[in-house]
Amino acid sequence: LRIHRHDERRFSVDGTPTDCVLIAAHGLLEHKPDLVVSGVNHGPNMGEDVFYSGTVAAAIEGAMQGVPAIAASLVTREAADFTESARFIRDLASEVMRRGPAGKQVLNVNLPHRPWSEIRGVRFTRLGSRVYSDTLIEKVDPRGRAYYWIGGRDPVWQADEGTDFQAVSEGYISVTPLALDLTDYRAVVDMERWNLEP
């Protein structure tokens, strides 16, 4: 990995978003940061997308380092002006710093892509779900070697009540608090009744 210094307080890293956080936390910065903000980036990070997202992964790395973290995404793949989205994230960051960290938590923010005057407000949400129709497409390159595309139709959002999908589809900014503990505690209780021996 290479670090590029652009000025006294601006750096870039040839690596993943998580690499950037690790390098900052373990050597680049003299002191642990007060807050990690990953994004604002193009494209949604809602529902199951959080498990694939480099934006969210960088924020999770910050939380694992004991630093409050925000992952921010503008829900579009088109060219976009990030000015108002960045202003909102700045205000949210100020609020997080004022209230203090809530443990190892990430705030996952998805901003609808529409004129700022049409944003209806902010909703605190839970992760929704998507129905995927992924298809593995095999192709052959000019040298006769197989390669693959993962394709299919665009996923369908299930805009259930209280979800990030519903909030964004209705023109609200979605803020979803994510915990790092992915344990399914109900399953643990049920599984304790299983009859398993080594």
Query: Each residue of 113-164: pLDDT tens digit?
Result: 999 999 999 999 999 998 776 788 899 999 999 999 887 666 777 778 999 9
Residue ranges of alpha helices (H) inside 8-157 are: 17-23, 54-64, 83-99
For the chain, which domains are there?
3-130+157-191 (3.40.1210.10)
pLDDT of 152: 67
> What is the per-residue pLDDT across 19-64, written as a single tens digit (0 to 9) for each?
999 999 888 888 889 999 999 999 999 999 999 999 999 999 999 9
pLDDT in tens, 57-94: 999 999 999 999 999 999 998 999 999 999 999 999 99
- Both tokens of 134, joined, read 């992924």
Grouping H, G, I as helix, E, B as strand and the rest as coil, residue 155 is: strand
Residue 154 main-chain phi, psi, to 5 deg: -60, 145
Q: What integer best gives the mean pLDDT of the chain?
A: 92
